[in-house]
Structure 1
Amino acid sequence: MKSLAPLLLALPLSALAGKNCFNNHIKEDMCRQASDIARETQRSLPITLSERVEMYSIEAKENKLIARVKLGVTEDEILATAKQKHIQPGVVKTRMAELAKNGVCANKNPFRSFVRLGGEMEYIYTHPSGNVYSTVKITSCD
């Protein structure tokens, strides 16, 4: 009976993974879609998203795409610019999250359909030093 315990404990986790993969009305496997999109996108990396912003890696984890994005500015430069423009540092991160969501959810963005069908996007923004500046999670386009 002891040998069945690990199997029984693992069942709810696998059931959850299945729910994340098919969390849409058309029963599309979003975990497979995430893997396919990540594999396809990796071929084009690095991708310049805007001046001084570059996506350098992307991976799939269940129904989520996790993109690592390098900012071309240091944390000190961000803080100095925010101070100069009289913006609180937290507001900068909030605006970055809004811009990321608006970009993903724009009609012309290929990730829009992925998110609308139950996929998720996560952007991990790092400074040139490699230190994480912010993480943005996009779970819907509404």
Structure 2
Amino acid sequence: MRTNDAAYDTAVATYPRELPPGYSFPSGLIGAASADKWWWCSQIDAAWEAYFDRNDEAAALGYLRAAADVDPGSYGQFDQPADSLPLNRKIDREVRYINDGVDSQYVEYTAQGCWDWAKSVGSEFPGSSQLRV
């Protein structure tokens, strides 16, 4: 059972950036850094949903650009060496594009890493209960 953490609660209450529409901070995470991680992965998840579910590359690029401006810190077990294969369950903090467009492979494997991280802390992003690739 998770308990509320004062540092996390304070970070969420004063968080300087907006989450994507439909997203919210979960209760009960530990540490202020978790707020940054949640915000960053929310951008990646929203980019995945915009690109793969709605075929809206412009929206996906907006979320990716927001994430590119912020370093989410360490993700522990979901950080893998850059040369690891296959490229899944990896959170790559260097947001990638192809010719100024969405790099779908980057979004795919980084979103999977974010989903795994969210599950590891007892949470999930909106819509993540749907079957995702």
Q: Same fold (TM over 0.5)?
A: no
| Greater C-alpha Rg | 1
TM-score (norm 2): 0.28
Structure with the largest fraction of strand: 1
